[in-house]
Amino acid sequence: MKQKERNRITPKKPFSYSNGFSLIEIITVVAIVSLLAAAGTVSLVSARERQTLKDGESIVLHGLERARSRATAGIGNSDHGLHIEESRIVSFEGESYDGSGNTILLPGSVETNQSDANIVFNRISGTASPASVITITNSSGTKTITVTENGAISND
């Protein structure tokens, strides 16, 4: 009898899906990961643009403060100023911009509302001529720098 029982064909167990992931589960996970990656990329690009705008503002502020500082210190016995264009600034010595000076480019996507402006700080007194409002923009927003006639420089 034992021999007969061994030879008997036993039915196989039905196919089981419990040993892996289904195609639907894999597609769902890939979709979720893709959405998270896309949201992270958008967030990083936005943060980079905001930082670029802050960098542009800092460059213009530093240029203005440097020109005012050099003028009030009487360096070179002359006035000092800042020539501002859409995508660069040039610090210069003298009563007017003659095309020469220290050029600094603004970061890639940053522009000013000035196309050919000169702000000159008077020697020793540090007063500015003319008083100006400089707007710095890129895709993430706008920053404003104000220079008053008494030479005060402020930003928002």
Structural domain count of the chain: 1
Q: What are phi and psi of 124, to 5 degrees?
A: 70, -55
Instruction: Give the CATH number of the domain where residue 101 resides.
Output: 3.55.40.10
CB-neighbour burial class of residue 111 (10 A; exposed 0-12, middle 13-18, buried 19+):
middle
Q: Is 51 helix (H, G, I), strand (E, B) or coil?
A: helix
Give residue-wise pLDDT tens across range 88-135.
Answer: 999 999 999 999 999 999 998 999 999 899 999 999 999 999 999 999
Tell which wins on pLDDT, 72 or 3.
Answer: 72
Is 10 part of a structural domain of the chain?
no
> What pLDDT sits at residue 18?
60
Phi-psi domain of 104 (left: phi exceeds 0; alpha: psi -120 through 50; beta: other): beta
Is 16 part of a structural domain of the chain?
no
For the entire predicted model, the pTM comes to: 0.77
Per-residue DSSP letter, 115: S
Residue with tokens 């990083």: 44
Two structure tokens written together for 71: 């003028």
The mean pLDDT value for 139-146 works out to 95
- Is a pLDDT exceeding 60 seen at residue 5? no
> What pLDDT sits at residue 34?
93
> What pLDDT sits at residue 130?
94
- Strand pairing partners for 129? 120
What is the spatial distance between Cα 81 and Cα 73, in angstroms, rounded to a whole number? 13
> What pLDDT sits at residue 17?
53
Give residue-wise pLDDT tens across range 6-53.
Answer: 556 666 665 555 667 889 999 999 999 999 998 888 888 889 999 999
Is 114 part of a structural domain of the chain?
yes
Is 31 part of a structural domain of the chain?
yes
Residue ranges making up the domain that contains 74: 23-155
Segments in 1-147 forming alpha helices (H): 2-7, 23-72
> What pLDDT sits at residue 14?
59
- Is a pLDDT exceeding 60 seen at residue 72? yes
> What pLDDT sits at residue 42?
83
pLDDT class of 59 with cuts at 50, 70, 90: very high
